[in-house]
Amino acid sequence: MFEYTLFNDLAEEVDIPKAGITSHSVYKSGRLKAVIFGFAEGEEMSEHTASVPAIIQILKGNATLTFESEIREVSAGAWVHMDARLPHSVIAKTPLVIMVYLLREPK
């Protein structure tokens, strides 16, 4: 028996708050964890790292992403893969929805 997970519109899986940032996991397996984030306009996720490789996908809105000291302006449709431990940050220029995929090695 094969299994699958389907979301017709990922951007609708999180409510963008009036202030702050909200998030929740939408999928988890041994190899992948998918977390959706909703940012109010102007909110910032300060510089941090992930212990595993990760993908950020912009689903809705505009943001400034910083990778170490490199600054990138992105909008819905943008996709980025990051190596583990790459310092990065996110600033929501508009109400923003992003998916973060944390990639794990098979056990």
Average pLDDT over residues 2-9: 93
> What separation in angstroms does the CA of 64 have from each of 43, 49, 71, 87?
11, 16, 7, 14
Domain boundaries in the chain? 34-103
| CA pair distance 65, 56, nearest whole angstrom | 10
Is the predicted pLDDT of residue 18 greater than 90, yes or no?
yes
Which tens digits make up the pLDDT trace of 56-72?
Answer: 999 999 999 999 999 99
- pTM value is 0.93
- Give the model confidence (pLDDT) of 31-50 as tens digits: 999 999 999 999 999 999 99
Give, in words, the CATH class of 34-103: mainly beta
For 35, phi and psi rounded to 5 degrees?
-125, 130
